């Protein structure tokens, strides 16, 4: 008879990281193909799509230097992508109310539809994966993910 020692915290952490990584790689492969097809239909380059998603997911309008920083692009490259997206009516520039020298970039309604479409691609990928699971496995996964999310939220709440 073999004694099984309980898994150490580091073994458990490694198992969780490994499982999450495999799950996200699987889902992301579907998302990447769908997103690239969507970007191509819109006539966007990969860099333009990255700029659009960065601006579209920001909580507030961004100056070009911040976009460049977040995407690890030169300010000139970020500016060229913004120029094209403004021309394509996906982004707009507005004057910063605190510094007239700074132009802030925000998403237009057309750009918002594109950003929201990417979220829909993720949702479709998760839906496909969840639908392919046997019901008991799907129920355990939902319970485990909800428990993990609840635990994460408890850690973020002020004491």
> Could you report the per-residue pLDDT of 93-107, keeping only the tens digit for each?
998 888 888 899 999
The yes-or-no verdict on residue 13 having pLDDT over 80 is: yes
- Joined together, the tokens standing for residue 131 give 């639908």
3-state helix, strand, coil in the chain (%, to 5): 70, 10, 20
For residues 153-157, average pLDDT: 71
pLDDT interval class at 159 (50, 70, 90): very low
According to the model, what pLDDT value does residue 157 have? 54
CATH topology of domain 26-156: Arc Repressor Mutant, subunit A (1.10.10)
pLDDT tens sequence across 52-86: 999 999 999 999 999 999 999 999 999 999 999 99
- Joined together, the tokens standing for residue 55 give 């601006």
- Joined together, the tokens standing for residue 39 give 């970007």
Decide: pTM greater than 0.75.
Answer: no
Q: Which residue has tokens 């097809």?
A: 37
């Amino acid at each position: 008879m073999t004694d099984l020692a309980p898994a150490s915290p580091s073994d458990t952490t490694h198992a969780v990281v490994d499982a999450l990584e495999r799950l996200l790689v699987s889902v992301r492969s579907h998302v990447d193909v769908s997103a690239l097809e969507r970007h191509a239909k819109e006539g966007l380059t990969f860099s333009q799509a990255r700029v659009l998603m960065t601006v579209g997911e920001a909580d507030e309008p961004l100056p070009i230097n911040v976009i460049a920083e977040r995407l690890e692009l030169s300010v000139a490259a970020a500016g060229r992508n913004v120029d094209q997206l403004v021309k394509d009516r996906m982004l707009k520039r507005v004057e910063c109310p605190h510094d007239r020298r700074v132009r802030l970039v925000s998403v237009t309604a057309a750009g918002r539809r594109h950003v929201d479409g990417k979220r829909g691609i993720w949702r479709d990928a998760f839906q496909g994966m969840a639908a392919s699971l046997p019901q008991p496995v799907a129920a355990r996964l939902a319970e485990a993910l909800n428990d993990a999310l609840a635990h994460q939220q408890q850690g973020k709440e002020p004491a």
